[in-house]
Amino acid sequence: MLEIFNHGKIRELRLARPPVNALNPELVKLLTQSLREAETECGALIISGREGIFSAGLDVVELMQLDRQGIADFWSAFFELLETVALSKIPIAAAITGHSPAGGAVVCLMCDYRVMSRGEYRIGLNETRVGLIIPPVLQNAMARLVGPKLAEQMLVAGTLIAPESAVKNGFVDALETGYEATIQHAIQWCEKLLSLPQHSMLGNRSIARAHFKQEFASNTPASVASFVDTWFSDETQKVIAALVAQLKSKG
């Protein structure tokens, strides 16, 4: 479900839940826990995926079986994961080794740096298309990457884009050709930061990312309730049921 590799002081957490690294409650908890362990044991982190897929996002097939409490618990746990990435004490690079829609893209937003593999892949927050509503903290994180206007337009339309567009508009920071090259790029990015005076690198980083602290603090229980309400609304259930049917017919 999650493979762990150490490259010197750099730890790579590789999502390994075939076929599409869908984020279910178990993977979300395991990833959060592994990130916390790494913070005290390592100097920098990489979150990577399988060849061709970083993560397809939330595991809607599994989530459709949960009741209101189950969905509330999952959404809280997913936000805990995102907060853990965003407020990590050490830098995190995303090695986006393939498709990364919706929840997969959201995890990438929270990292310090994003390198993506070239190919017929798509990345973006297409939640509108699956009937979901993206909370302010995540919308703001996207605005930091591509600017507030483009973030609004992409979020409203649920736009998925190719790697070349993503690097052009700032959604990702660099492209590489091939799986290994993508991971190597992330390792080199980490190594560069680890070669600097650590107290000032981390001190400047902490100030630059302090806004995340305030924004996650504003993610109240009310916003969890709001997600649960949306999830169980007739409109969203209908869209997700159609999506699940489509996924099952493929599988």
Q: Give me the phi and psi of 55, to 5 degrees please.
A: -165, 135
Q: Confirm or reject binding of residue 129 to a second copy (CB under 8 A).
A: yes
CB of 18 to a second copy, least distance (A): 29
Compare residues 28 and 111 and give the one whose CB is closer to a second copy. 111
Q: Confirm or reject binding of residue 144 to a second copy (CB under 8 A).
A: yes
Q: What's the chain's Rg over C-alpha atoms?
A: 17
CB of 247 to a second copy, least distance (A): 17
Q: Confirm or reject binding of residue 78 to a second copy (CB under 8 A).
A: no
- Judged by CB under 8 A, the chain residues 154 through 183 that form the site for a second copy are 155-158, 170, 173
* Residue of 199, 220, 221, 249 that binds a second copy (CB under 8 A): 199
Q: Confirm or reject binding of residue 241 to a second copy (CB under 8 A).
A: no
Q: Name, in order, each residue with C-beta under 8 angstroms of 251's C-beta and a sequence gap of 6 or more.
A: 19
* Residue of 4, 210, 225, 241 that binds a second copy (CB under 8 A): 210
**Cα gap 54→192, rounded to integer Å:** 24
* Residue of 49, 57, 91, 124 that binds a second copy (CB under 8 A): 91
Compare residues 29 and 129 and give the one whose CB is closer to a second copy. 129
Q: Confirm or reject binding of residue 153 to a second copy (CB under 8 A).
A: yes
DSSP line for 205-243: HHHHTHHHHHHHHT--HHHHHHHHHHHTSHHHHHHHHHH
**Cα gap 122→205, rounded to integer Å:** 29
Q: Give me the phi and psi of 162, to 5 degrees please.
A: -80, 160
Q: Confirm or reject binding of residue 151 to a second copy (CB under 8 A).
A: yes
**Cα gap 143→148, rounded to integer Å:** 4
Q: Give me the phi and psi of 98, to 5 degrees please.
A: 165, -155
CB of 230 to a second copy, least distance (A): 7
Q: Confirm or reject binding of residue 207 to a second copy (CB under 8 A).
A: yes
Q: Which candidate, 183, 170, 163, 247, places its Cα nearest to that of 50?
A: 183
Residues that bind a second copy (CB under 8 A): 91, 112-113, 127-136, 139, 144-145, 147-153, 155-158, 170, 173, 192-193, 196-201, 203-205, 207-210, 230, 233, 235-236, 239
